[in-house]
Each structure stands twice: as C-alpha cells, then as structure tokens.
Structure 1
C-alpha cells in the first residue's frame, strides 16, 4: 500500500513530454537530417497517408479533394513561373523585331548570317535544301523516277528541233510534256539587242547596284577559280582587260540579287502562264575560251530555260539511266538571240563555252503543270 502511494505520489516519472520538448526533439531531428533525407521522409509520410485514405474507403476523387489545398500552391507557383517565362520571351521577340527594323542592325544581321551560311558550305551544302521542295524525302514516294517505259519519249529523237514564232500552247503540248528539248530561234524577242550585252556591262551592273554588290553568289565555277574565289573579283579584272581565256558560271541565289539582275532579260514570249519561272537566275560568261571538256548544268528544277544573249554556246543533252542505252545524246550550238528549253526528268544537261570574243548566257529554272 505504501509502495502504491509512493508510485502515485511521483507523477513526474509518468507525465508525457511537454509540447516544447517534442518540438525541440523534432527540430533537433530535422537539423540532423540532410536535404535528401528530408525529401525521402516527406515522401514516406505522404505514401503512408495515401495508403491510410485508401484503406479507410475513400475514393480517388475524394483523396484529390483532400489534397487540393496543398496542390493549389504548387499550381500557383508553376503558373507564375510560366508567366514570367512568357513575359521574358515576349520582351525578347519585341526587342528583336524592333532591332530588325533598324537599318544598321538589319544589315549587320544579314552580313553575319550570310557569312555564316557561306562558311559552312564546304562542310554542308545547304543550297540543296534551299532549292528542294521537300525537307524530308518520303521513302514511299515513287513519282518522278525514270522508268524504262519513259524511254519511249526519246528513243526516236535524233536531234534538237529548232523552231520560231512558237505558240504558248505548243511549248507545253509538243515539247515540255513530251520531254523533247527545243531551241526557239527568236526566243529573246523584245529583249536587249546582242550589242547591248557585254561582260563589261555585267561587271558594271555588279559594281553600281548596291544589292548585287552586297550579295554573294552560289555555285561559282571557273577555270580561274583558284585565283578568283567569287564572280565579282573575276568581273572586275575582266572589265579592266586584266584576264583572258576564261569561262565562269554562277547563280544569283539570293532573291534580292536575282531580282536586281532581271533588268537584263524578260520573260520569254512563248511561255504560257502555267509555266512558273524560278526566283533565281544563272549567269554563264566566256571570253576567248576554247574549252573541250563539257560543264554540267544543274538548275535543281524541272525545266531549264537557257538564253544565249551574246556569242555562242554548245549545249548537250544526255539521257539519264536507264534511257542512256536506248536514247541518243544530242548536241547543238546555241546562237545569239536563241533560247534552249529542256526538261530535267529525262535529260542531264551540259555545255561547252567557246567564243572567239565573248559569250554570255542567262539561265532560268522553272516548273510547269
């Protein structure tokens, strides 16, 4: 009895820890835990709570409503984060657009962009993508591939036909749709006369026009390309008479430059509206050149329009495989004022620039329905 009284008379020994003591223990335990341990601890507690709710018979929708007050703060933080990102992006777009309309900044961006594009050409030829109608080839697409049945269109051809006063309907029905190359003898009707064309005048155009002067070219090829890496240097030397016995070919691949060069030619009179001429244009020049090796012409479009505005040029069409065993290669001399038209599906195109004085040709790509 006395022992029982003594046990009850000492309440301190059985009294639970105070709130202060528990808080201190939790803080001490919290301080002793690392950040990763805290995350794992919280995750375990949440999982235990979820299991408790499931075992208590609560549905998933009820559990989601229970935790909604906790998730609202997280959603709010995420919304604020994405709002800040959207505001920053909008500010960047507005500033970039404003700078784009400032002429000095725009020119600087163009120069940097063009130099970067040209510098990667030796590693990656992006011009093929520039001219391509599709960025990714469809492996299931079979159209546009030459078959042995297509060779029937050229097996009886023995030469390139010459015509004049060609009707717009005839160029489509008799030649383009049948893949028959043709030379239109009065093709440059309404253009400048041959006397108004010269290499010196072309050089002057590239000097006086700010657009032609600023834009570089693509696909520059010449027997002097080791000395002159691009067309403008060669033209400057040629205009001064400091070079001779040369040929050169380049493409005005930048739309502004191609548009500025158009004053030297017009749309051929015999092309109907259904024939679309490409934006870019090609320039072929030669002076006192007696070459014998054919040069390839690649317009990267379904048809070629080659206008001989001064001097002469020898053009050759060669049937592509598998028609090269059935059809014949054909060669003709293109004279002043004549335009050569051929399709790209059936034929590969070559030329030999030869001229006792000067030869100037303008090449245009196109497509037709």
Structure 2
C-alpha cells in the first residue's frame, strides 16, 4: 500500500493539534480542580453575584476559548488553508470540552452493574432501556451462530471475498494503538500477529454496506429483551483484538444507547462518571464474559476497555432508540 506525502492541510492541522495538546497539558499541570475554581473570588455582574454553576464551569470556558481560538486561527487566517479540500478534525482529547454538563442524578444511585436473565422487554423498557443504569444480560446470545463461528479467519474471509453491496452509512475505522490503518491492513497481517503471538493489536469498525450488514446479521439476532417498539440502526459495530489491548478512557458522541455483545474472549470495562459528578458518583469496574450483553449509555458514562488474558476478544454492538 503506497503512502501519500502530507499536504499543507495535514501539516497545519498537526501543528494546531500539538499546540492544543500543549495547552491542555499546561492546564492539567496546574491541577486546578472544580472545587478550587469554585472558591475563586469573582466580580459581580450588574450587581448580581456570579452563579455557582459558572464557577464550576470556569475551567471548561477557558479550555473552550483556547480550542476555538486555535481552530479559528488555522481555519480562517492561515494562508492557503481554506483553499485545500480537507476535513478539519478536532483532536480527540478536546472533543469532550464541548460536552454539556450532566445532571449527576444519572449516576448518584448506581453502585454496581446487575447481571440478569429472563428479562422481558416490558421490564427492560421500564427499568433499563432508556436509563443511565448499566446492566448485563447473560442469556441473550444462546442461539447465535456468531458465538461458535466468529473468529479472525471468519472476518478475514468475509471481507476479502464477500460482496458488500451498496453503501448505506458512513464507514468508520478505529485503529487505537495498533498502527493498522484500515480493514485491508488488519486482514493482511502476518500469521503470527493475526494469531496474537506477534505485535499486539485491537481495532474497531462499523458496517456501512447493505449486503455486509445483512450477511453478518445472519449470525446474530436482535437481543430478545429490547423493547418491542424499539428500532435498531442499520449500522453495527465490531471490536476485535488481543489480550492487554482495548480502548482508552473516553465518552462517545453517538445518537442512542447501545448494547455490546461479547462474542469471544473476556473484556473488562471501567465506567467513570462525568468529571462534574466525581464527588457524587462512583466508578464501576465489570467483566463481560462470552455470550453476555452489556447495555450502557456510552454518551454519558466515560469508559475504557481491556481484553483479559485468554482468547481473542470479539464484540458486536448496535444502537437502539
């Protein structure tokens, strides 16, 4: 696979990202907590005191101004930048700066993640489907062909030889720290690495073609406990990789709550409340075993994952409304 030379657009974006990361690092080095900024003596505005909410979000405001300043500078002022056909990608570390504050009642009473069986759609809808409380359902994949048939070779053959059909969604690929830049590179790995005896790897991707989604869904079903009126997206997510690998701590920006089915291997999830709720809510650690489905609102819970020792980890996920 040939590699193209970095464009002026790429160089300017990289420079902007480096400057932003330096600002974030500098702010972190000050160790300014929300409790500290809330004690700052701030002037009154038109005779009225500055609100407590503003004090707690002061650091958020400073960071937002810094990010917007850098983006504006490189998008509008830099010569030649706007004329190039390129997409502006804000560094992932800065995306959460623009997340609105959460109401901490979302997690204040969540002390653990329950494991449930025989969960009717009615009970699931009433208690869990649209609440921020995570839950693991242990009996929803008993008849899935994926449990027995999904492995690295299955996906390699599927994507090398299968007809994908028409594109119906945007295609997403997450390399994490693998150094692999596409599904083509994933399924072109040497045998040692593919068998997890070479350099470690973990990747994720979305389905984006109609025939691709239809054929894959022959191996797994809509979870029986989902509300009867709930509709699923035409996009599914697949995450695969070896022990010790996984996703860094982050919060998603997807449209809906999702279910995550652990098809192979074991994966440890660490769920953390939003920063503004650190003194109200507690973090959660859980392990999802083969055949279990975790339901969690990844738009509200920060989360990171690690594949535990043993088999390759394969997870299938999807959103529902």
User: What secondary structure sits across from 2:139 in the alignment?
Assistant: coil
Are the structure 2 counterparts of residues 258 and 325 from structure 1 closer, same or farther at C-alpha, using a change threshold of 3 Å? farther
Pairwise CA distance, 1:211: 0.8
Does the 8 Å CA contact 1:212/1:260 hold for their aligned counterparts? no
| Moved >6 Å (runs of 4+) | 212-216
Q: Which residue of 2 aligns with 1:41?
A: none
CA–CA distance in structure 1, aligned partners of residues 115 and 304 of structure 2: 18
Q: Which residue of 1 aligns with 2:231?
A: 276
Does the 8 Å CA contact 2:202/2:241 hold for their aligned counterparts? yes
Q: Which residue of 2 aligns with 1:38?
A: none
CA–CA distance in structure 2, aligned partners of residues 242 and 154 of structure 1: 40
Q: Which residue of 1 aligns with 2:58?
A: none
Q: Which residue of 1 aligns with 2:173?
A: 219
TM-score (norm 2): 0.61
Q: Which residue of 2 aligns with 1:28?
A: none
Superposition pairs of residues 157-168 of structure 1, within 5 angstroms:
157-168=110-121
Q: 1:48-81 CA deviation, whole Å, 9 max, x = no partner?
A: xxxxxxxxxxxxxxxxxxxxxxxxxxxxxxxxxx
Decide which of 205, 211, 216 is 1:250's aligned counterpart.
Answer: 205
Between Structure 1 and Structure 2, the one with more strand by share is 1
Structure 2 unaligned regions, length at least 5: 1-83, 90-98
Pairwise CA distance, 1:212: 7.2
Quick check: 1:314 aligned with 2:268?
A: yes
CA–CA distance in structure 1, aligned partners of residues 285 and 211 of structure 2: 34
Larger Rg: 1
Q: Which residue of 2 aligns with 1:50?
A: none
Quick check: 1:366 aligned with 2:300?
A: no
CA–CA distance in structure 2, aligned partners of residues 147 and 362 of structure 1: 28
Between Structure 1 and Structure 2, the one with more helix by share is 1
Between 349-358 and 171-180, report the one with greater CA deviation. Answer: 349-358
CA RMSD, 1 decimal? 3.1
Q: 1:157-200 CA deviation, whole Å, 9 max, x = no partner?
A: 21111111111011111112332110001121321263322111
Superposition pairs of residues 1-369 of structure 1, within 5 angstroms:
123-124=87-88, 147-148=102-103, 151-192=104-145, 194-211=147-164, 217-225=171-179, 228-237=180-189, 240-243=191-194, 244=196, 245-287=200-242, 289-291=243-245, 294=248, 296=250, 298=252, 300-344=254-298, 346-367=300-321
TM-score (norm 1): 0.54
